[in-house]
Amino acid sequence: MAEAAGPRRLVRAPACLCVLCGLPAAGKSTLARRIVGTAAELGWRAAVVPYDDLIPEQAFHTEVDGVKLQDMHTNWKSHRQAVLRSIGQFVERSEGVTTLQSSSLINSAAWEQCTEAMLQPEMLMSDGTPLLFLLDDNFFYPSMRYEVYQLARKCSLGFCQVYLQCDLESCISRNHSRSKPIPTEVIREMEKRLESPNPQKNLWEMQSISLNTSDSSSKCDIRKVMELICSSLNNPLSPVEENTEQQEADRLTCATSVVHQADRACRRLISEAMKTARDNHVPSERMRLLAAQLNESKATFLHNLRKQLLQEVPFIQEDVDVERVVERAVGSIFDDQKEDILSRFINHSD
């Protein structure tokens, strides 16, 4: 007697993670909607993953005055990882159903909304239907995009990136017309720090294109994106056997190099600050106190930098542009701290 047929399981369909990156209001969401429409015409399952909707608003708040993108990046990290875990769960479960494991970190209603179309019965009955996730976020640091690449490699998915290049003033103008505009200063600060995909520097960014979106996206732009996605679907990444011990050694070497160079850069800034204080006739007893506070600030900064590098940097040593990491960290964090301390002493306030 034949056994009863069990639950129907789907054959693993080709899938692609497409990262849409660029400044706020560069046109990512508009492009994503057009790509989803084109994908639907091809019979694909496609969804936009809107980070702004999935990540709770409180995750974007900082506890310091002013705009501190480094703090914001750290605060976003656990929430962005929850988004990627949910994508991974969806892709890995052949039944096409996923249960959120970290509902407190992302908006479960927004997640259900973005995957709803993929769970329609007619879609689930189509074995081999391509699966496309369009990740809509700013992704201004390579490390943010590399996390997506890691997921694609782990799950043997296609991976590609579309950088929407739009001039700053156009982004600011568009942002003002939004129902919930973000502060203009955030956009200006992000523009200074944004690092667009660089295949010459990062081999993992080879599947990337850049679109000029100062004007609306053209049919030619859509065609380019679809060609990129098709290429990525046909060439999924392969999981790499990871040598954890070697990776940790590389990470430690990299962190040591970065911290050493950062220390030298901080010393130069402290010397410049001391000279400025002398030129402003700060009394000698306060000069000693200034030096002590600057050195204490430097020690704390270097400690936190080393800790962050060891915990967060996803690259092996040769993938890291040490000089750039040092310049960005020192310039965006310690230099500001140095200026705050110096201004207090020059203005004779405690």
Please state the rounded mean pLDDT for residues 272-280: 93
pLDDT bracket for residue 167 (50, 70, 90): very high
Can you tell me the distance from the alpha carbon of 281 to that of 287, in angstroms, rounded to the nearest whole number?
9
Q: What is the pLDDT of residues 108-122, one digit of tens each?
A: 888 888 887 777 655
- Residue 331 is predicted with a pLDDT of 84
pLDDT of residue 169: 94
pLDDT at residue number 91: 85
Q: Is the pLDDT of residue 242 over 60?
A: no
Report how far residue 77's alpha carbon sits from residue 58's, in angstroms, rounded to the nearest whole number.
13
Among the listed ranges 38-42, 62-66, 224-228, which one has the minimum average pLDDT value?
Answer: 62-66
Q: How confident is the model at residue 324 (pLDDT cuts 50, 70, 90)?
A: confident
- For residues 232 and 5, the model is more confident at 232
What integer pLDDT is reported at residue 36 of this predicted model? 94
Look at residue 243 in the predicted model and tell me its pLDDT. 61
> Which bin fits 28, alpha (ψ -120 to 50), beta or left (φ > 0)?
alpha
As a dihedral over the C-alpha atoms of residue 33, residue 37, residue 39, residue 44, rounded to 10 degrees, the angle is 110
3-state SS, residue 14: coil
Quickly list DSSP for 107-168.
-HHHHHHHHGGGGSHHHHT-TT--EEEEEES---SHHHHHHHHHHHHHTT-EEEEEEEE--H
Is the Cβ–Cβ distance between 134 and 225 less than 8 Å? no
pLDDT score of 208 more than 90: yes
Tell me which residue of 286, 268, 302, 304 sits closest to 341, measured CA to CA: 286
% of the chain with per-residue pLDDT over 70: 79
- Model confidence at 102, pLDDT cuts 50, 70, 90, reads very low
What's the confidence (pLDDT) of residue 11?
46
Given a cut of 90, whether residue 16 has pLDDT beyond it is yes
Chain centre distance of CA 116: 25
**pLDDT class for 274, splitting at 50, 70, 90?**
very high
Q: Is the pLDDT of residue 214 over 70?
A: yes
Give 208 or 325, the one with higher predicted confidence. 208
127-153 pLDDT per residue, tens: 678 999 999 999 988 888 999 999 999
Give the pLDDT band of residue 230 (cuts 50, 70, 90).
Answer: very high
Mean pLDDT, rounded, for 172-186: 91
Domains, the chain, ordered by start: 15-234 (3.40.50.300), 244-346 (no CATH)
Rounded (10°) CA dihedral 121, 125, 130, 134: 20
pLDDT band for position 80 (cuts 50, 70, 90): confident
Task: Detail the DSSP E strand segments found in 2-127.
Answer: 15-22, 45-50
* Better-scored residue on pLDDT, 17 or 246: 17
